[in-house]
Structure 1
Amino acid sequence: MTKLSVNINKIATLRNSRGGDVPNVLQVALDCEKFGAQGITVHPRPDERHIRYQDVFDLKEKICTEFNIEGNPTEGRFEEVVLKTVPAQVTLVPDALNAITSNAGWDTVRHQAQLKELVKKYKNAGIRVSIFVDADPIMVEAAAETGTDRIELYTESYAKGYPSDREKAIAPFVVAAEKALEVGLGLNAGHDLSLENLAYFKQNIPGLLEVSIGHALIADALYYGLENTIQMYLRQLQ
């Protein structure tokens, strides 16, 4: 079974654009769970332009499904907040301070020593660790050497290539997934997965445990409604 974790950053972006507390980030997270999502993902950034650090604490107190906090472990208060809230999973993402969204996976060869220290720290706190990587078997194998529990495949290139040649687009992800299984890593995926391309990805990627989806799902919810949209995404994963 592949779990759906809903990234609620865009809900926080909408709230922050007007001030106040509408829409309420916590209530949306609870509704996502009620409507069938098996996890909630947030990606706090140092400028708190969407998810605020306080949101993370508020969410941890109330949500019942798996809580996944993703972000750059070297920026802002990320490490402090993760270690204080102890989510089910932390996903380490090397996004730059001024990045609009995540745009690359870790070079797990170059940053091997740093990642080993981070993985050990979070695992010692009882948190499952996932490392965000490109669909490159070399990076997957090096990720395994850090001691991480899982990797999350960065799927933007798949989403971009899907409309013109889906077989070509998914090929490197199949290779990376097979390598992950070979070296004993759990496998997550995320970035630009959508109703258009999710089912094909799920059908062809072995061992896929979890997908984290935010932007496309929230955009679809404007048309289909949140409950219906979550059910539509869950059907793509069956």
Structure 2
Amino acid sequence: MSQAKLSVNINKIATLRNSRGGNNPDLVKTALDCERFGAQGITVHPRPDERHIRYQDTFDLKSVIKTEFNIEGNCEEQKFVELVLANQPAQVTLVPDVLGQITSNHGWDTIKNQNYLQDIIAVFKENEIRVSIFVDPNPEMVEAAKTTGTDRIELYTEAYASTFHQDKEKAIAPYILAVQTANKVGLGINAGHDLDLHNLQYFAQNIPGLLEVSIGHALICDALYLGLENTIQRYLYQLK
């Protein structure tokens, strides 16, 4: 089984930069350093208020990134759709955010939103952009994701992370069931949200076919103590 790729979400670097204005820390340099330190992808999640990633950042990053560029966000925002189409990333991850939401907190209802997802995913696929959609670990939602036309799902892992330290077997159980469905219907599997150095290895070991994890908040927090290069190497080690 091949090792899942690590895509580093650099939103928090942009948050720090924006807190003082200017360009310190340098977002583009940080992204390039992440690649140099071993990250196999860079993720950004621009929001309409540009409180962290600015729309211009995506253009600046796209021009220099050598690994996979993943832009995630709310496809119901027309400006987001235009941004993705203009940048042609390797992957777009569709997240059902609402305006002003602090962080992503639920996956798509792929049954209720089936027709909408089919239409918007077709737009990205016509432009040869790989599509992943954010879903909860629910086999019904995973199965319905298949008929939207998406290439992959990204499993929302907050529930796993919040239960892991109390009962890791209970925490992983619904994800195993969801992944069995994904593998059966032929969907690629990504994962993200609250994965960290404590819970990542167990998750990766129990999710057959895991292709990619997108990690930002925990990784940047760890880097404050461990250094960015060391932190990325530690996360890659957890995926082995």
How high is the TM-score relative to the length of structure 1? Answer: 0.99
Indicate the residue corresponding to 1:144 in structure 2. 146
Aligned to 1:119: 121
**Change in CA separation of 1:143 and 1:86 when aligned onto 2, cut-off 3 Å:** same
Alpha-carbon distance in structure 2 between the residues aligned to 1:76 and 1:48: 15
| SS of match in other structure, 2:172 | helix
Aligned-partner Cα distance in 1 for 2:226–2:14 = 20
Alpha-carbon deviation of 1:234?
A: 0.1
Partner of 1:207: 209
Give the drift of 1:89.
0.1
1:100-153 superposed Cα distances (whole Å, 9 cap, x missing partner): 000000000000000000111101001000000000000000000101000000
2:192 to 190, 213, 229: 190
Is the Cα contact below 8 Å between 1:162 and 1:169 reproduced in 2? yes
Distance in 2 between residues matched to 1:154 and 1:113, nearest whole Å: 22
Counterpart selection for 1:94 from 78, 84, 96: 96
More displaced, 188-197 or 73-82? 73-82
Indicate the SS of the match to 1:77: helix
Confirm or deny that 1:178 pairs with 2:170: no
Report what 2:158 is aligned to.
156
Distance of aligned partners of 1:24 and 1:76 in 2 relative to their CA distance in 1, 3 Å threshold: farther
Distance 2:16 2:179 in 1: 35
How far 1:76 sits from its partner (Å)?
5.4
Q: Which runs of 4+ in 1 moved over 4 A?
A: none
Identity of aligned residues (%): 70
Q: Which amino acid aligns with 2:39?
A: A
1:13 aligned residue: 15
**What residue identity is the alignment partner of 1:99?**
Q
Determine the structure 1 residue equivalent to 2:229. Answer: 227
2:52 is aligned to 50
Tell me the TM-score normalized by structure 2: 0.99
Q: Does residue 1:32 correspond to 2:20, yes or no?
A: no
Give structure 2 stretches of 5+ with no counterpart.
none
Secondary structure at the aligned position of 2:25 is classed as coil
3-state SS of paired residue (1:20):
coil
With over 3 angstroms needed to count, the CA separation of the structure-2 counterparts of 1:194 and 1:67, relative to structure 1, is: same
